[in-house]
Amino acid sequence: MKWVTWENIGVDRMGCIWLIRRWIDPNAEFLFVPVEGISLPKGAKPFDIPGTRYSHHGNHCTFHALLKEYNVPDPILSQIASIIDEADLVQEINVEPIAPGLDAVCRGIRRISADDYEALDRGILLYEALYTELSAGNG
């Protein structure tokens, strides 16, 4: 299955890509399109693009929307969703200390990557590391 999102991925989309590859669609292919001027390619599922099904809803990030839709029963994934909710959106109340750091590291990863494909690989590594650490009961 092909998935499409806007270019210049950050904390939410790196998380979504990891979630899709690891839990939803192991053969997923990702396409990145500019924010303006281009219509979305047909046959690819859009995510984290405003106005589409898998995007922000209320105070929740796109990772949260995907997790809810595909219903992966893993409490660590719910915790990661809550961290991304705080990293990517302005919240009144913050309870996840990892959130601002994760956001900064994801922005940095995109900056040091030649393109979104390189950032994607590094983002997957980062989220795999986060998942493993949280699964060990830390954070």
Partner 1 sequence: MSNWILLNYKLPTHPSALRVHVWRKLKRLGAILLNDAVWVLPDMPRTFEQFQWLAAEIQEMQGDVTFWRSNLVMGLPEAKLVEQFSKQVHEEYKTLLKRLGKKNPDLSRLSQEYQQIVGRDYFQSEVGKQVKERLLALRGEKG
Q: Which residues bind partner 1 (CB under 8 A)?
A: 10, 50-51, 55-58, 88-90, 92, 94, 100, 107
Please, are residues 61 and 34 in contact by the beta-carbon 8 Å criterion?
Answer: no
- Cβ distance to partner 1 smaller for residue 2 or 57: 57
* Beta carbon of residue 65, minimum distance to partner 1 (angstroms, whole number): 13
- Cβ distance to partner 1 smaller for residue 26 or 92: 92
* Beta carbon of residue 71, minimum distance to partner 1 (angstroms, whole number): 23
- The count of C-alpha atoms lying within 13 angstroms of the C-alpha of 72, restricted to the half-sphere facing its C-beta, is 21
Largest separation between any pair of C-alpha atoms in the chain: 45
- Cβ distance to partner 1 smaller for residue 5 or 55: 55
